[in-house]
Amino acid sequence: MKKSVINWLQIKVFAGLGVLIIGAAVIIIYINLLAEENHASQQLLSQVKQLETQGQAIKRRGATYASNAPRDYAPYFRDLVIFYPDFMNDLDAFESQIQQIEKTASALPIKTFHSVDNSLMNSITTLKDNWLSFRRGLMKKLGDNLKEPRLEWGADYVQENQQLINQITGYLIKTIDDSIEKQLHANKELTNRAFIGAGISLLLGIIWFYVSVIRRITQTIKGCQRVAQGDFGYQLKVRGNDELAALSDAFNTLSARTRFVVTMLSKMHRHGSAENKVDSLYKEATGYLPIEWLGLWHLNEADENLSMMSMRSERTASHTALESLSTMTTKDLHLLDIIKSQQTIKYDNLQDQAAKLTQARLMNAILKMGLLKSVLIVPLKSDDNWQGLLVFVAGDEYAYSDEQVELMTNLAPFIANGFSQAEKI
């Protein structure tokens, strides 16, 4: 019976490609997350530096006004129209920038690959609280009447407290720098681990591919070269039941068949007795066909009687048993019909065929031998009309394949010519 073949090689290759695609997708997603996180952090750092610039602008404007504050009403109303709106716009821009920083920090990508650093949000919260405190103090200095604010007091207050704002923004910048540095360090470690894991996986994949595919294909190629050089019958080791195992099994079958055909044809056409040729056929065919019993019969065309020429068996048989077997098959109608049809016959389970072969004397005799279940009957006819048949018997069911039946059918004329020449010697 044919050995079932599972497409394990295709399954493994497609599984490997699937893992490769998934791995590539994971790496791409990972790189995108890192790029997105780095971009957001750099954007946040840029916003904080812009906040620092705005704080310095507030500081300069307050210092300039404090140094050159007007002492009469005419310049005061001029500054109320020109200086005061610009100063308040700077304060509003500074506060708006703080809100934008808080929004950007809150929207930072989730740090999937490393721990979350809370110092950033804590720093932003501190900056916001201090700014609100600064703004309330400034508004108190400007007074309740915003139409006529105390600009000089407000400028002095800004000059006195601007250092606090600079310290807060500077600390925030340092916090973001530290956070980015930690992130890049963690990302570098993760990237190194990813490269190491990918390298190990690639190495294991290469080793598997070499052992499971390349080496087995190389062995098959060497086997084909050995057979091409005349080493007929060379056999490969068959491992597993995938496609390459099926290839090795097919090569072994072809190699054994080639050896059997070449050797058998060579020996069959040598000078010698039929007994010697049966002995050679039995020895050479055993490497390709399962044989526990082999018999050769010759058909006498004059009286259409079958005569047993030779027999080989794994079991010893007495001379009386051989004579009995030869006598009972003289007029075996079943065998005579097969010779006339010139069609090779196989019985996969002789026991199941017993009811249909009641007149087949040889088949019944084989059944009585016991433990013999499969039969292959090959009718022979030479170019000079020598006729006979070969009977191969095996102990297992379904021992003979359709390919073996077809091969023996094709070889039958050559075998017949060999026995025909032997009989004439």
**Looking at residue 319, what is its pLDDT?**
54
Arithmetic mean of pLDDT, 297-326: 77
The span from the CA of 346 to the CA of 407, in Å, is: 13
Q: Which positions ≥6 away from 361 have C-beta within 8 Å?
A: 328, 329, 332, 334
DSSP 346: E
Q: In a 3-state reduction of DSSP, which class is residue 374?
A: strand
Which amino acid does the sequence have at 65? Y
| Alpha carbon separation from 323 to 303, 369, 370 (Å, rounded) | 19, 15, 19
Q: Examine the pLDDT at 367 and tell me if it is beyond 50.
A: yes
3-state helix, strand, coil in the chain (%, to 5): 70, 10, 25
Which of the four CATH numbers 3.10.129.10, 3.30.450.40, 3.65.10.10, 3.30.565.10 does domain 243-424 have?
3.30.450.40
Q: CB-hemisphere CA count at 13 Å for 324? A: 8
Q: Where are any strands of DSSP class E within 329-371?
A: 345-347
Arithmetic mean of pLDDT, 35-50: 80
Which amino acid does the sequence have at 170? G
Q: Examine the pLDDT at 425 and tell me if it is beyond 60.
A: no
If one counts every other C-beta atom within 10 angstroms of the C-beta of residue 283, the result is 14
**Looking at residue 216, what is its pLDDT?**
84
Least confident of 309-318, 384-393, 395-404: 309-318
Indicate the pTM of the whole model.
0.54
**For 190-243, how does the pLDDT look when each residue is reduced to its tens digit (9 = 90+)?**
777 777 877 887 788 888 888 878 888 888 899 889 888 888 788 888 887 778
**Looking at residue 368, what is its pLDDT?**
78
> To which residue do tokens 């433990």 refer?
371
**Looking at residue 171, what is its pLDDT?**
77
DSSP 296: E
